[in-house]
Amino acid sequence: MKVGTDGVLLGSWASATECHRILDIGTGTGLIALMSAQRFLGATVEAVEIDSTAASEAKENFEKSPWSDRLTLHHCRIQDFSSEEYFDLIISNPPFFENSKHSGDSAKDLARHTDQLAFTELIFAANNLMKEKGTFSVIIPAKQSEKFARLSQAQGLFCNKICWVKPTESKEPIRAMMNFNKFKTNREEEELVIEENGRHNYSSDYIRLTGDFYLNF
């Protein structure tokens, strides 16, 4: 579970009014945390990862990056993580498969399924670790967006911005990137199409959003 489109999208899109302290929940091998360090040059970035192999790779990736002095890896469950300071921006590309068949690959199942991190636990952690004016950004399947927004609002977090991600113009959204805050405003909605005119022909909007992170666009 290394570099994937979901992570690249969220790492490129997530933002907050201020980005001095950033937390990546479920960093995997460190993709979103590294992207955040590249985007927000004045920020310190902390990352939490439960899987030991992924955490080890993330730590190595952090140490070899140009931003190693601003990146910190915590090998633990987010439920066990604590911080003396709150975060301006919390980002997560969480596991989202519920009650579905497991593959038998423990690392993949941990990354994909909600067994070890239910939506309610993720929302609770973000709410507790986020500044009053902070932002919590996630990417989840579009079909689960309403449920996630409802669960978040029950804990005092409001979806104020959502980006519907479509594979092509003619298809329905498959992902929703969502921003949550501890205050409510009129929800801003936007749409992003990944491909146009054939497979692997990325749209101008996708290139504009993610281009700083690809070597061969």
pLDDT in tens, 28-85: 999 999 999 999 999 999 999 999 999 999 999 999 999 999 999 999 999 999 999 9
- pTM value is 0.89
CATH architecture under which domain 5-213 falls? 3-Layer(aba) Sandwich (3.40)
Residue 103 is predicted with a pLDDT of 47
Residues contacting 170, CB < 8 A, separation 6+: none
- SS3 category, 122: helix
Higher pLDDT, 98 or 95: 95
**CB neighbours (10 Å) of residue 97?**
14
Q: Quick check: 105 and 53 in contact, CB under 8 A?
A: no
Q: What are phi and psi of 86, to 5 degrees?
A: -85, 165
Residue 213 is predicted with a pLDDT of 92
Residue 132 is predicted with a pLDDT of 97
Q: How far is CA 137 from the centre of its chain?
A: 6
175 pLDDT band, cuts 50/70/90, is very high
Distance CA 105, CA 29 (A): 17
Higher pLDDT, 114 or 78: 78
Does residue 146 carry a pLDDT above 50? yes
**CB neighbours (10 Å) of residue 64?**
8
Report the mean per-residue pLDDT for the chain.
Answer: 90
104 pLDDT band, cuts 50/70/90, is low
Domain boundaries, the chain: 5-213
Residue 101 is predicted with a pLDDT of 53
Could you tell me if residue 28 is left (phi over 0), alpha (psi between -120 and 50 degrees) or otherwise beta?
A: left
Higher pLDDT, 56 or 111: 56
Pairing of strands 130-141, 175-181: antiparallel
Residue 215 is predicted with a pLDDT of 80
Residue 1 is predicted with a pLDDT of 54
